[in-house]
């Protein structure tokens, strides 16, 4: 079944297919790296995939160079204990330059073990004039990365902008600045702009605000032209960041877009929720007089295969296809050897799609993105040693592997793991993971030895400073979180994936009070106009809010598809999170931090 939403076309617009996509298939040869634990890292900045083209000034020589290098080697191995022991061999009467080098390396060691207060004290211990120029650059980069991991995006971006004046050719640093600005709120950037004394920093903020406030690629193109004219010598002016350069060159909109969704059968409720999110954007743009294309909605369940639905979309004149929705349908299209029209799929396959012909870009709500993000959020808070609670089964094991890989890459440790197969097993598995059984056994042994009854409070293991909860559902999360308090772990921060929240306010969520989770911006207030429009439509799909957000982001990515030609540099701020493209043309999603305040979900 096919439905045409509108027949309006844009005069003078040419097909988008010609510009969109062999570049995507071949241009993404390097992935944007994930944040690295600053205390474990050397000279390469967090967000750069290549060495800095501008060499930093050399470090002055010292009689203690061997000791300093041994310490750096230990820090590279994340061995903070050896690093501190090595530095302890230095005499107290160091000169000012050596003292600043020692304190900086001690700060890195303190960060690795999670002592953020001591890290900050060491970084500000001595007069700035005592710090060699080369070390000042290292200090700035280290401080920027700490701010980034802690979620202080504007501070991280500002320090990066200051450092860039000394290393103007550092493409990785420009990328990091732009990513941090995209993580920042519009209100925070507007406030910072009012107080910004530095011209380059003002330029960065103005560029980010123009991008944020543009309603469509055409108005953004004009805004970018104006910004470039006002800031011709700005570090971002030569090559606009985040793929904006491709918008600035002019966007040729498609004349027809096909939306492929399973609007009948088992997946129909999910498909309608995605459609509502997409159409909310579409009709909002149309109300502004912006709809330069025909939208062709195709029910994939009326075709014998996803490939057949795709072929019909092409026959009907589509120049870009959005969908399909199921993982199986996306996998099927991923094996088509030649695709004449690019596809923005709404799920993620487990294997790489063939990228011959026009590209297949994958946008999804993959829970793996949540798992990586909670690891980063917890590490940025100073946590280092974790208890991991997960459901038994393939999904729980897969998410645990993803989280553990990211956590260990940052420098964290999983010191205890518990999996549960049923609600009846929750309590016993938590007790075992917290070593409470061993504590109770010791008390029993003492009672037997003394032949008397003694007062006893079980003592959990003390080496845990964070708990990761990979609950499959809100019901699981509401059962497990109170049990942690019952078993003497109520003061340990708990981080969870978005599966712990239904997406709809529920008084029962008061049992989750204080729990932190990685969540989509849509559920924290982004795009209120679209959410109101969906609710007013009275389709009931607003109860599937995450799928509404997926549809909204499908429209966003489609409308800014040209930006994806920037490959690893492409960056879009969506309602499901910050979106970046990996080498397999999957849009990796960075959710935001949320916390339960009573039964309400809020941003801290």
Can you spell out the DSSP letters for 209-274? HHHHH-SSHHHHHHHHHHHHHH-TTSTTTSS-GGGHHHHHT-----SEEEEEE--SSTTHHHHHHH
Q: How high is the pLDDT of residue 220?
A: 96
The b/e string for 5-17 (b: 16+ C-beta within 10 A; e otherwise) is beeeeeeeeebbb
Rounded Cα–Cα distance for residues 308 and 93 (Å): 78
Residue whose pair of structure tokens reads 């330029």 in the numeric block: 203
Q: How high is the pLDDT of residue 8?
A: 30
Rounded Cα–Cα distance for residues 101 and 390 (Å): 43
What mean pLDDT is predicted for residues 236-251?
A: 95
- Measured from the Cβ of residue 354, the count of other Cβ atoms closer than 10 Å reads 15
Higher pLDDT, 34 or 174: 174
Rounded Cα–Cα distance for residues 289 and 287 (Å): 5
Mean pLDDT of the chain: 88
Rounded Cα–Cα distance for residues 464 and 99 (Å): 33
- Measured from the Cβ of residue 151, the count of other Cβ atoms closer than 10 Å reads 17
Report the C-alpha dihedral over residues 186, 191, 195, 198, rounded to 10 degrees: -10
What mean pLDDT is predicted for residues 475-496?
A: 95
Least confident of 241-245, 434-438, 506-510, 577-581: 434-438
Q: How high is the pLDDT of residue 456?
A: 47
Per-residue pLDDT reduced to its tens digit, 153-208: 999 999 999 999 988 888 999 999 999 999 999 999 999 999 998 999 999 999 99
pLDDT > 90 in the chain, percent: 74
Identify which of 431, 539, 419, 535 has the alpha carbon closest to the alpha carbon of residue 484.
431
567: phi then psi, degrees, rounded to nearest 5: 65, -125
CATH assignment, 2-19+252-364+528-587: 3.40.50.2300
Six token digits for residue 417:
């793991």
pLDDT bucket at 5, cuts 50 / 70 / 90:
low
Identify which of 249, 258, 219 has the alpha carbon closest to the alpha carbon of residue 566.
249
For 368-519, which CATH class?
alpha beta
597: phi then psi, degrees, rounded to nearest 5: -110, 100
586: phi then psi, degrees, rounded to nearest 5: -95, 135
Q: How high is the pLDDT of residue 127?
A: 80
Q: Taking 50 as the threshold, does the pLDDT of residue 30 lie above it?
A: no
Rounded Cα–Cα distance for residues 406 and 388 (Å): 13
Six token digits for residue 81:
């204990």
Comma-separated ranges of CATH 3.40.50.2300 domains in the chain: 2-19+252-364+528-587, 368-519
Question: What totals of helices (H) and strands (E) does the chain contain, helices first?
Answer: 22, 16
Identify which of 112, 120, 126, 103 has the alpha carbon closest to the alpha carbon of residue 82.
112
pLDDT bucket at 460, cuts 50 / 70 / 90:
low
- Measured from the Cβ of residue 452, the count of other Cβ atoms closer than 10 Å reads 8
Q: Spell out the residues 6+ positions from residue 77 whose beta carbon is closer than 8 angstroms to its own.
A: none
Give 602's strand partners.
595
Q: How high is the pLDDT of residue 459?
A: 64
209: phi then psi, degrees, rounded to nearest 5: -70, -35
Q: How high is the pLDDT of residue 23?
A: 36
Give 581's strand partners.
587
Identify which of 103, 169, 199, 192 has the alpha carbon closest to the alpha carbon of residue 142.
103
Q: Taking 70 as the threshold, does the pLDDT of residue 603 lie above it?
A: yes
Rounded Cα–Cα distance for residues 586 and 347 (Å): 9
Q: Spell out the residues 6+ positions from residue 493 whose beta carbon is closer than 8 angstroms to its own.
A: 378, 381, 383, 465, 466, 467, 514, 516
Rounded Cα–Cα distance for residues 550 and 364 (Å): 7
Q: Do 561 and 531 contact (CB within 8 A), yes or no?
A: no
Q: How high is the pLDDT of residue 450?
A: 56
Rounded Cα–Cα distance for residues 27 and 38 (Å): 29
Q: How high is the pLDDT of residue 17?
A: 34
What mean pLDDT is predicted for residues 103-130?
A: 93
Cα 89 to chain centroid distance, Å, stands at: 41
DSSP classification of residue 357: B
pLDDT bucket at 597, cuts 50 / 70 / 90:
very high
Rounded Cα–Cα distance for residues 24 and 222 (Å): 25
Q: Taking 50 as the threshold, does the pLDDT of residue 48 lie above it?
A: no
Residue whose pair of structure tokens reads 């991280």 in the numeric block: 156
Residue whose pair of structure tokens reads 């600035």 in the numeric block: 248
What is the arrangement of strands in the sheet containing 385-391, beginning at the earlier edge strand?
413-420, 385-391, 466-469, 494-496, 516-519, 592-597, 600-602
Rounded Cα–Cα distance for residues 279 and 262 (Å): 16
pLDDT bucket at 537, cuts 50 / 70 / 90:
confident
Per-residue pLDDT reduced to its tens digit, 305-361: 999 999 999 999 999 999 999 999 999 999 998 899 999 999 999 888 777 778 999
Per-residue pLDDT reduced to its tens digit, 540-552: 788 899 999 999 9
Relative orientation angle of helices 545-559 and 528-536, to the nearest 10 degrees: 120
């Amino acid at each position: 079944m096919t439905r045409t939403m509108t027949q309006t076309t844009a005069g003078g617009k040419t097909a988008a297919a010609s510009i969109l996509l062999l570049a995507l298939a071949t241009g993404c040869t390097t992935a944007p790296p994930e944040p690295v634990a600053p205390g474990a890292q050397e000279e390469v900045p967090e967000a750069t995939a290549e060495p800095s083209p501008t060499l930093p000034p050399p470090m002055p020589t010292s009689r203690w160079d061997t000791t300093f290098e041994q310490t750096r080697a230990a820090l590279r191995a994340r061995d903070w204990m050896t690093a501190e022991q090595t530095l302890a061999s230095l005499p107290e009467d160091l000169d000012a330059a050596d003292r600043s080098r020692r304190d900086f390396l001690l700060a890195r060691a303190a960060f690795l073990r999670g002592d953020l207060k001591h890290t900050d004290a060491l970084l500000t211990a001595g007069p700035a004039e005592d710090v060699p120029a080369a070390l000042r650059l290292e200090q700035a980069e280290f401080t920027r990365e700490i701010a980034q991991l802690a979620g202080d995006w504007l501070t991280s971006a500002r320090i990066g902008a200051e450092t860039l004046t000394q290393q103007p050719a550092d493409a990785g640093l420009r990328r990091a600045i732009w990513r941090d600005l995209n993580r920042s709120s519009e209100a925070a950037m507007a406030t910072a702009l009012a107080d910004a004394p530095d011209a380059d920093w003002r330029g960065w903020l103005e560029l980010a605000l123009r991008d944020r406030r543009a309603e469509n690629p055409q108005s953004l193109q004009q805004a970018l032209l104006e910004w470039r004219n006002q800031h011709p010598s700005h570090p971002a002016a030569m090559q606009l960041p985040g793929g904006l350069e491709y918008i600035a060159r002019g966007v040729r909109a498609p004349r027809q877009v096909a939306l492929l969704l399973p609007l009948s059968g088992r997946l129909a409720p999910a498909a309608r929720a995605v459609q509502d999110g997409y159409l909310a954007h579409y009709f909002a743009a149309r109300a502004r007089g912006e709809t330069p294309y025909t939208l062709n909605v195709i029910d994939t369940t009326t075709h014998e295969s996803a490939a057949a639905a795709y072929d019909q979309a092409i026959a009907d004149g589509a120049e870009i296809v959005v969908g399909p929705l199921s993982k199986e349908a996306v996998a099927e299209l991923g094996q088509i050897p030649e695709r004449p029209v690019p596809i923005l799929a709404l799920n993620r396959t487990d294997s790489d799609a063939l990228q011959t012909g026009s590209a297949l870009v994958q946008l999804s709500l993959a829970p793996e993105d949540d798992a990586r993000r909670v690891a980063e959020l917890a590490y940025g808070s100073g946590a280092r040693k974790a208890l991991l609670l997960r459901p038994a089964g393939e999904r729980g094991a897969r998410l645990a592997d993803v989280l553990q890989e990211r956590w260990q890459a940052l420098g964290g440790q999983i010191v205890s793991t518990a999996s549960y197969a049923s609600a009846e097993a929750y309590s016993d598995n938590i007790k075992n993971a917290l070593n409470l059984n061993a504590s109770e056994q010791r008390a029993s042994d003492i009672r037997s030895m003394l032949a008397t009854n003694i007062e006893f409070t079980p003592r959990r293991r003390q080496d845990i400073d964070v708990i990761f909860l990979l609950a499959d559902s809100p019901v699981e999360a509401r059962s497990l979180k109170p049990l942690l308090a019952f078993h003497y772990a109520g003061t340990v921060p708990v981080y969870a994936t978005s599966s712990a929240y239904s997406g709809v306010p529920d008084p029962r969520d008061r049992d989750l009070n204080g729990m932190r989770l990685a969540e989509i911006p849509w559920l924290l207030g982004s795009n209120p106009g679209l959410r109101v429009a969906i609710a007013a439509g009275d389709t009931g799909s607003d109860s599937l809010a995450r799928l509404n957000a997926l549809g909204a982001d499908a429209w966003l990515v489609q409308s800014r598809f040209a930006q994806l030609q920037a490959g690893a540099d492409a960056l879009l701020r969506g309602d499901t999170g910050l979106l970046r493209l990996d080498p397999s043309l999957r849009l990796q999603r960075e959710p935001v931090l949320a916390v339960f305040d009573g039964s309400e979900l809020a941003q801290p």
